[in-house]
């Protein structure tokens, strides 16, 4: 057997976000579940750079506070948590973001996160305990911001 027999199966291909997410949307619209690797730490500590996330198509019943969704607005893509729901407007925030929020319409939410895969461990991101801890984490944002500022001040000498 040739050493090239697995060629192409573990290949990493880099494409721009817009192309990637448009392909992803096509698969979601067909009812397929998608796994992709997260880039960035806006969802830290619950999702970290390099973790994998399993997404499925969004249904109206899925739109609840505490759920992690993939949204696209003005050509920007966010995998963030729903923190508030106001009529047709949904407020999203990354768990790692201290002040930033995104406001999206329901039609701009493409998918909901079902699982996060850390190394060889799978976690249901819709579990009540994880949603509870994420709500606590969100509510202590002012304290986290204060700690961040104090750490910055202590580094300056």
What would the pLDDT profile of 14-48 be if each residue is shown by its tens digit?
A: 777 778 888 888 888 899 999 988 989 999 889 99
Residue 3, domain member (yes or no): no
Residue 7, domain member (yes or no): no
Compute the distance between CA of residue 24 and CA of residue 53 in angstroms, rounded to an integer: 13
Tell me which residue range forms the domain holding 142. 17-155
Q: Which residues contact 29 (CB under 8 A, 6 or more apart)?
A: 57
Residue 114, domain member (yes or no): yes
Residue 56, domain member (yes or no): yes
Report yes or no: 92 and 78 within 8 Å, Cβ to Cβ: yes
| Tens-digit pLDDT profile for residues 103-143 | 999 999 999 999 999 888 898 888 999 899 999 999 998 89
Q: How many CB atoms lie within 10 A of CB 110?
A: 19
Compute the distance between CA of residue 47 and CA of residue 98 in angstroms, rounded to an integer: 15
Residue 5, domain member (yes or no): no
CATH of the domain at 140: 2.10.109.10
Report yes or no: 134 and 95 within 8 Å, Cβ to Cβ: yes
Residue 12, domain member (yes or no): no
| Tens-digit pLDDT profile for residues 47-79 | 999 999 999 999 999 999 999 999 999 888 899
Q: What is the reported pTM?
A: 0.81
Residue 70, domain member (yes or no): yes
Report yes or no: 121 and 61 within 8 Å, Cβ to Cβ: no
Residue 88, domain member (yes or no): yes
Number of structural domains found in the chain = 1
């Amino acid at each position: 057997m040739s050493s090239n027999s697995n060629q192409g199966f573990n290949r990493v291909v880099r494409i721009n976000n817009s192309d990637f997410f448009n392909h992803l949307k096509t698969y979601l619209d067909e009812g397929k579940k998608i796994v992709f690797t997260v880039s960035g730490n806006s969802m830290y500590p619950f999702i970290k750079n390099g973790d994998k996330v399993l997404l499925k198509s969004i249904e109206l019943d899925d739109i609840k506070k505490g759920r992690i969704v993939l949204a696209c607005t003005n050509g920007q893509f966010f995998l963030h948590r729903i923190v508030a729901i106001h009529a047709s407007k949904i407020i999203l925030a990354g768990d790692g973001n201290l002040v930033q929020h995104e406001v999206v319409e329901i039609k701009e939410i493409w998918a909901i996160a079902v699982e996060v895969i850390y190394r060889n461990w799978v976690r249901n991101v819709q579990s009540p305990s994880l949603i509870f801890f994420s709500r606590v984490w969100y509510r202590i944002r002012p304290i986290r911001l204060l700690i961040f500022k104090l750490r910055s001040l202590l580094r300056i000498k």
